[in-house]
Amino acid sequence: MGSVILKSGREKSVISHHPWIFSGAIDDIRQIASNGEIVEVFSSDGKWLAYGSYSKHSQISVRLLSYDREDKISSDFFYNKLSCALKNRTIFNLDKQSNAYRLLNSESDGIPGLIIDKYNNFLVCQFLSAGSEYFRAEIINELKKLLPDCSIYERSDSSVRKKEGLNLIKGLIYGKEPDDLIEILENNLLFFVDIKDGHKTGFYLDQRDNRILLSQYAKDKEILNCFSYTGAFSAWALYGGASFVTNIEASSDAISISNINLKSNGLNLEKVENVCGDVFEVLRKYRDCGHKFDMIILDPPKFAESTSQVKKASRGYKDINMLAFKLLKQGGTLFTFSCSSLMKMDLFQKIVADACLDAKRDAQIIKRLTQGSDHPVSLNFPEGNYLKGLVLRVC
């Protein structure tokens, strides 16, 4: 087994069970042959610290798997991690609320760089690190044992794999080829999901709780849903009694699926307008013509993929929130989100506050929002708390 020796004083994060070791913390690397293989991690004075998988290409050189020297990183290890993750979802009755949820949430569920989302009888996997890719055969075999009735589809087509020296992969791994759209149930509503070509693994499972919350605010409201994708927020708004919903979405394919989702739930399409276009441009047009809304939802894609992009992302968040504040009626409600893990909540709140000030409005925070319980965050891995949101009332 290869080994990694840390520089003096750089073992503190490992002792605290943070799962990442960056290249700058490493003093020496010994006997590593393959990208993703298991290595032992030692402090500068020779103390054994952990097992992890080594990435030759990423700035995150080691992703830690175990802090117990007696552990064997084998098929049984991965079965136990997967089984524990599934059990945790059933403990919190996620399987009763929906037949679609995140089964395994990478570092926070003990397998760094691995995402598994369950959509009815399909498991959609993303192998996003060199380590998870190295053990893909073992992981897939244990998934088959754990959930034998589920087909397995791969969506390892995220650009983050390039940082790990990995090619982008997409396609069927096991079982039957999925239909173009898969039907799922989220509490009382049906949704159709494109797991083959949709965003991420096909659906924003992390917003489940926030969609239900929004429905409780929606009665008799005229609502603007920005970056509406396949209309999940819109469906819950109409289910909650919204008087009218306007969707803005750049993808005509996503709008088509949105209409299917609304129809499948018996929701009135006459209460919906779909605008296919750039959200920033459309919001400026509404501002210029004086169109006002009771509620606005801002759930944009990730604006910051790296630390160098945070400044540019901040300008984007400020611009879009300032426009939203200008378009809200007095007493109106704004649901605003960031899914960029590099955008910390304190900074996000400051950006939104500055946007409100520039829009010459005043607002109150009604609630702070985050991802659902099927996207748990390890106490030792705050980076896992990527989704942040605010519910604001314009005074």
Q: For residue 248, what pLDDT is reported?
A: 98
Residues 147, 292 within the same domain = no
**In-domain check, residue 187:** no
Beta bridge partners of 293: 328
State the amino acid at position 240 in one-letter form.
G
What CATH number does residue 28 fall under? 2.30.130.10
Residues 218, 140 within the same domain = no
Residue 277, classified by CB atoms within 10 Å of its CB into exposed (0-12), middle (13-18) or buried (19+), is: exposed
Report how far residue 58's alpha carbon sits from residue 36's, in angstroms, rounded to the nearest whole number.
11
Domain end: 182, 214, 249, which one?
182
**In-domain check, residue 255:** yes
Residues 174, 242 within the same domain = no
User: Encoding tokens for residue 216?
Assistant: 């409780």
Domain end: 18, 46, 66, which one?
66
Residue ranges in the chain modelled with pLDDT below 70:
none
**In-domain check, residue 155:** yes
Q: Please count the structural domains in the chain.
A: 3
pLDDT tens by residue, 220-246 = 999 999 999 999 999 999 999 999 999
Q: For residue 369, what pLDDT is reported?
A: 98
What residue numbers bound the domain in which 19 lies? 2-66
Residues 231, 251 within the same domain = yes
Q: What is the pTM of this model?
A: 0.95
What CATH number does residue 91 fall under? 3.30.750.80
**In-domain check, residue 193:** no
Q: For residue 313, what pLDDT is reported?
A: 85
Residues 151, 241 within the same domain = no
H-only helix segments in the chain: 12-15, 75-91, 94-97, 130-134, 136-146, 160-163, 208-217, 232-239, 252-264, 279-289, 310-327, 345-358
Q: For residue 200, what pLDDT is reported?
A: 95
Residues 374, 331 within the same domain = yes
Domain end: 182, 216, 237, which one?
182
